[in-house]
């Protein structure tokens, strides 16, 4: 007798603004579907149990740990990964999100493995707040507090959040 536990399903998603479709086993994690079925390897898996936050993506704009969600659960949703944070300018060039610029400017990453999870979480958090308001330390702590980084000691990640918030504030002014 052949043992097989896989029942396949077709999942339709909008990923980074592009309609995508993948036929995956029902048990496929969203993280694995993004990485291995859709080839978006920017989303990383650090602990497989929702603690480190490296796999965070935005599902309909909200940060979600993609290692704790099945791909079939997000059928029909809109997903943003780190690859989708930058936008295209009208010449087809790439305009980085302010938080991406800030991470580079403030040396907020070293090995870069946890970085995508921080970037999407912080980007969503900054997008959701009133950009005209100066960011408070409590807000900064809140935005970085749920993800693990083993390289930076977080000081420069916090600095990058302040930097990005200031950039967005200037943009809003």
Partner 1 sequence: MTTKLFGEPVRRREDARLITGRGRYLDDIGAGALAAAFVRSPHAHARIVDVDVDAALDVEGLVAIYTYEDLTGPLAEPLPVLIPHPQLTAPRTGYPLANGEVNHVGEPVVMVVATDRYVAEDAAERIAVTYEELPAVVGVDAAREARACVHEEIPDNVAARHHQETGDVEPALAVSPHTLSFTQYVERSAGMPLEGKGVHARWDADDRSLRVHTSTQASTSVRAAIAAKLQLSLDQVEVVAPDVGGGFGVKIVHPWPEELLVPMAAIALGREVKWTEDRREHFISSAHERQQRQEVSVGFDDDGRITALDVHVWHDHGAYTPYGIIVPIITATQLVGPYVIPVYRVVVESVYTNTVIVTPYRGAGRPQGCFAMERTMDRIADALGLDRAVVRERNLIQPSQFPYDHHLTFQDGRPVVYDSGDYPALLEKLKALVGWDGIDALRDDAEARGKLLGVGMALYVEGTGPGPYEGGHVQVLGSGKVLVSTGLTTQGQGHETSFAQIVSSELGVPIADVEVTTGDTRRFPYAVGTFASRAAVMSGNAIALAARGVRDKALRIAADVLEADPGDLEIADGVVQVKGTPGASIPLRTVAVLSNPLRYAFDEAAKQATQFAVQASNDQPPVTPGDAPGLEHRDYYSPIRSTFASGAHAAIVEIDPQTWEIDVVNYAVVHDCGNVVNPMIVEGQVHGGVAQGVGGALYERMAYDADGQLQNASFMDFLMPYASEVPDIVIDHQQTPSPLNPLGIKGAGEAGVIPGSAALASAIEDAVGRRITSMPISPTELYDLMRSETAERTAASGRRTGVGA
Q: Which residues bind partner 1 (CB under 8 A)?
A: 1-6, 25, 27-28, 35-36, 39-49, 51-52, 54, 81-83, 85-86, 94, 96, 100, 103-105, 107, 109-116, 119, 141, 144-158
Rounded least distance, CB 132 to partner 1, Å: 25
CA 173 from centroid of its chain's CA atoms: 27
Residue among 49 and 90 whose Cβ is closer to partner 1: 49
- Nearest-CA neighbor of 166 among 140, 121, 145, 135? 135
Q: Which is nearer to partner 1, 77 or 109 (CB)?
A: 109
Query: What CA–CA distance (Å, rounded) separates 61 from 69?
Result: 15
Shorter beta-carbon distance to partner 1: residue 110 or 173: 110
Q: Collapsing DSSP states into helix, strand and coil, what is residue 71?
A: helix
| Choice between 112 and 171, CB closer to partner 1 | 112
Q: Are the C-beta atoms of residues 121 and 146 closer than 8 Å to each other?
A: yes
From the CB of 167, what's the least distance to partner 1, in Å?
Answer: 14
Least CB distance to partner 1 at residue 156 (A): 6
């Amino acid at each position: 007798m052949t043992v097989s536990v896989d029942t396949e399903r077709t999942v339709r998603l909008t990923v980074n603004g592009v309609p995508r479709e993948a036929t995956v086993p029902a048990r496929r994690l969203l993280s694995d579907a993004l990485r291995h079925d859709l080839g978006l390897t920017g989303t990383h898996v650090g602990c497989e149990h929702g603690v480190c936050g490296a796999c965070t993506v935005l599902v309909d704009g909200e940060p979600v740990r993609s290692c704790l969600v099945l791909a079939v659960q997000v059928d029909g949703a809109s997903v943003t990964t780190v690859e989708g944070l930058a936008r295209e300018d009208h010449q087809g060039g790439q305009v980085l999100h302010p938080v991406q610029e800030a991470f580079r400017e403030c040396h907020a990453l070293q090995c870069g493995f946890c970085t995508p999870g921080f970037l999407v979480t912080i980007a969503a958090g900054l997008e959701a707040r009133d950009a005209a308001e100066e960011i408070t330390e409590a807000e900064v702590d809140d935005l970085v507090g749920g993800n693990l980084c083993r390289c930076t000691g977080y000081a420069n990640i916090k600095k990058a959040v302040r930097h990005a918030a200031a950039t967005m504030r200037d943009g809003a002014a």
